Amino acid sequence: MKRTLILSAAMLAVAAMSNQHAIAQAGKSAKKPAAAAAKSKQAAEFEQFHEELEQDNPAELFELKGEELWKAKRGPKHASLEQCDLGLGPGVVKGAYVQMPRYFADVGQVMDPERRILHCMVTLQGFRQADLAKQPFSTPDQTPDQVSLVAYVAAQSRGMKIAVPQTNAQEREAYAVGREIFNYRAGPYDFSCATCHGQKGLRIRSQQLPDLASKEQAINGYQGWPGYRLTGGLMHTLQWRMNDCFRQQRFPEPGYASETITDLLTYLAVNADGHVYKGPGIKR
Amino acid sequence: MKIRIISRDIARNISLSGAAAIALLAAIPGHAQDARTTAIAIMKRDFHAKGIAGMDRLDQDALQVVCNRSNNHPPKAIADRLEQDQAESIKYPADGKLLGDWKAGEKIAQNGRGMTWKDKPGQAAGGGCYNCHQIGPNEISFGDVGPSLYRLGKIRGEGPAMQKYVYAKIYDSKAANLCSAMPRFGHSGALTEAQIKDLVALLLDPHSPVNQ
């Protein structure tokens, strides 16, 4: 883990320098309306910086940890996850991540990757769902096993196209309900997901917001997850991302690995269909 | 949109309370509504209260119902009526003074905290204004979901009418634009009267850097 610390320190330093550079850039343009050219130059620089970061991504360490956990005999049943069916048959991990959420006949439900992995941990290894849900997100003290497992599974879809099935009624229902959850305005601030993520080209502070309702930009919400987040230096999955979005939406808390999250992820993944998934990433 | 079949004349002649507006919209059949009903039921089952964020936050008020059901494009007659309801609920300061302290206003505009399950009860919220608006000349990390407010007082004037307009916008943005993306900071209780006055000062006080 020492390597992680050195890496993150170095990256934070680079991030800080790049940020100062961005501020200087934006400062120049603040006097006049921001010139489109300056804006795109800045975006290109950030893109390059991001690519450099990805070449030495701590997420890889979690992929390796996840692979160990996948193959090890664990839990009350002293079994590995190697017989886990992620939708392509027992034991097939390659390509499974980009083809979920999908309908699983054994449970009669649509499941997203993390939910399905939890299901396997419960059924094959004998872990208790309630225990796995107790502390499901990474903290400075611990990274839950399922986070590393998701990183491992996701890595086995690196470079593959997102191809989430919409072949049966339940999968189509999950998409339709997910779209409604995405557009549902409520709470003290009247926010829905779409308030910030339903239009192209919007920015919160200096953060570009992808239009997750669009076929072109939905991939931006999917790409890079699971990911190593520079803020806090923690590995997170899309389960965490959805949870923290609802927090900022001023909603109550969604249940971990609940149908709400699966439906929302179905909406997101189907919108991102056909785009190439680059594997676990790095986030600011 | 099927809503358009509602005759304008009928809509005009009915005194539309929020409930009546909902009833009108509820009469519209459609597949989208089935999925929405399911979505709401699923969310109510799957969410739980956390900290100050109670489950009541999943309930829509009349305005939210209308905006959700019309995909944020309500029929004009309904929008006019509900905007009027919002406008009438705005509470202006008793002493009629709308300009607070612009320095305090800048801090409120910078502060994006408040109303989440991580925020403590009773802790003053921020407006998070820079999330969506350009405001002061020294803050270059600003969003663009809303319009630039830089030099607002210089451009649009600083007098009593403008002060009242800005106070109302912050208190309840929906009074002028029913399905606006901007929160209703006064209506929701996120910001106090004094805080809104400070923000009015940030935007309109001639001494504020916004207007230098």
What's residue A221's pLDDT? 93
Q: Nearest residue on chain A to B136, judged by CA atoms?
A: A30
pLDDT interval class at A35 (50, 70, 90): very low
> Is residue B8 pLDDT above 70, yes or no?
no
Residues ≥6 apart with Cβ < 8 Å to B140: A23, A26, A27, A30
> Is residue B201 pLDDT above 90, yes or no?
yes
CB-CB under 8 Å, A255 with B47: yes
Average pLDDT rounded to a whole number, residues A85-89: 98
Average pLDDT rounded to a whole number, residues B31-44: 89
List of chain A residues whose C-beta atoms are within 8 Å of the C-beta of residue B55: 252
B91: nearest Cα among B36, B5, B172:
B172
The percent of residues above 70 in pLDDT, for chain A, comes to 85
* pTM score: 0.86
Q: Nearest residue on chain B to A189, judged by CA atoms?
A: B183
Q: How far is A96 from chain B (nearest CA, A)?
A: 26
> Is residue A84 pLDDT above 80, yes or no?
yes
The rounded distance, in Å, linking the Cα atoms of B47 and B58 is: 9
Lowest mean pLDDT among A39-48, B97-106, B143-152: A39-48
Which single residue is written with the structure tokens 């785009």? A275
pLDDT interval class at A15 (50, 70, 90): very low
> Is residue B17 pLDDT above 70, yes or no?
no
The rounded distance, in Å, linking the Cα atoms of A22 and B53 is: 36
> Is residue A49 pLDDT above 80, yes or no?
no
CA distances from A233 to A6, A236, A246 (A): 11, 10, 21
Q: Can you say how many angstroms the Cα of residue B159 is from the centroid of all Cα atoms in its chain?
A: 23
The percent of residues above 90 in pLDDT, for chain A, comes to 76
The rounded distance, in Å, linking the Cα atoms of A12 and A28 is: 24
Q: Which residue has the higher pLDDT, A15 or B196?
A: B196
Q: Which residue has the higher pLDDT, A34 or A242?
A: A242
The rounded distance, in Å, linking the Cα atoms of B159 and B166 is: 11
User: Omega of the bond prior to A165 within 30 degrees of 0, cis?
Assistant: no
Torsion, Cα A76 A78 A80 A83, to 10 degrees, reads: -80
Instruction: Dihedral sign for Cα A142, A144, A147, A153, please.
Output: positive
> Is residue B59 pLDDT above 90, yes or no?
yes
A152: nearest Cα among A112, A117, A115, A111:
A117
Q: Which residue has the higher pLDDT, A21 or A145?
A: A145
Q: Which amino acid is at A198?
A: G
Q: How far is A3 from chain B (nearest CA, A)?
A: 32
What's residue A103's pLDDT? 98
Q: Can you say how many angstroms the Cα of residue A193 is from the centroid of all Cα atoms in its chain?
A: 15
> Is residue A21 pLDDT above 50, yes or no?
no
Q: Which amino acid is at A199?
A: Q
Q: Nearest residue on chain A to B55, judged by CA atoms?
A: A252
Q: What is the ipTM of this complex?
A: 0.88
What's residue A24's pLDDT? 36
What's residue A58's pLDDT? 86
What's residue A147's pLDDT? 98
pLDDT interval class at B24 (50, 70, 90): low
Contact predicate A59/A152, CB 8 Å = no
> Which among A84, A120, A193, A245 is annotated as catalytic?
A245
Q: pLDDT tens-digit profile of A181-213?
A: 999 999 999 999 999 999 999 999 988 999 999
Ramachandran sector of residue A146 (left: φ over 0; alpha: ψ -120 to 50; beta: rest): alpha
What's residue A1's pLDDT? 39
What's residue A20's pLDDT? 37
Contact predicate A249/A183, CB 8 Å = no
Other CB atoms within 10 Å distance of the CB of residue A276 = 14
Q: pLDDT tens-digit profile of A232-265?
A: 899 999 999 999 999 999 999 999 999 999 999 9
Q: pLDDT tens-digit profile of A106-143?
A: 999 999 999 999 999 999 999 999 999 999 999 999 99
List of chain A residues whose C-beta atoms are within 8 Å of the C-beta of residue B184: 190
List of chain A residues whose C-beta atoms are within 8 Å of the C-beta of residue B58: 186-187, 251-252
A120 assigned to active site: no
| Total residues found in chain A within this entry | 284
Contact residues, chain A to chain B, C-beta under 8 Å? 23, 26-27, 30, 173, 176-177, 179-181, 183-192, 195-196, 202-207, 247-248, 250-255, 258-261, 263
What's residue A38's pLDDT? 55
Which letter does DSSP use for residue B26 in this model? H
Compute the mean pLDDT over every residue in chain B, rounded to the nearest whole number. 89
Q: How far is A68 from chain B (nearest CA, A)?
A: 32
> Is residue B31 pLDDT above 70, yes or no?
no
Within chain A, residue ranges assigned H as helices are: 2-31, 36-54, 59-71, 113-123, 129-134, 145-155, 169-183, 193-197, 218-222, 238-248, 259-271
**In the CATH scheme, what architecture does the domain B102-211 have?**
Orthogonal Bundle (1.10)
> Is residue A46 pLDDT above 90, yes or no?
no
Q: pLDDT tens-digit profile of A155-181?
A: 999 999 999 999 999 999 999 999 999
Lowest mean pLDDT among A25-39, A110-124, B104-118: A25-39
Q: How far is B185 from chain A (nearest CA, A)?
A: 8
> Is residue B5 pLDDT above 60, yes or no?
no
Here the tokens at position A141 are 């003290």
- Across the A:B interface, residue pairs with CB atoms under 8 Å apart total 130
What's residue A56's pLDDT? 75
Q: pLDDT tens-digit profile of B135-162?
A: 999 999 999 999 999 999 999 999 999 9
In chain B, what are the domain boundaries?
2-88, 102-211
> Is residue A59 pLDDT above 80, yes or no?
yes
> Is residue B119 pLDDT above 90, yes or no?
yes
Q: Which residue has the higher pLDDT, B5 or A127?
A: A127
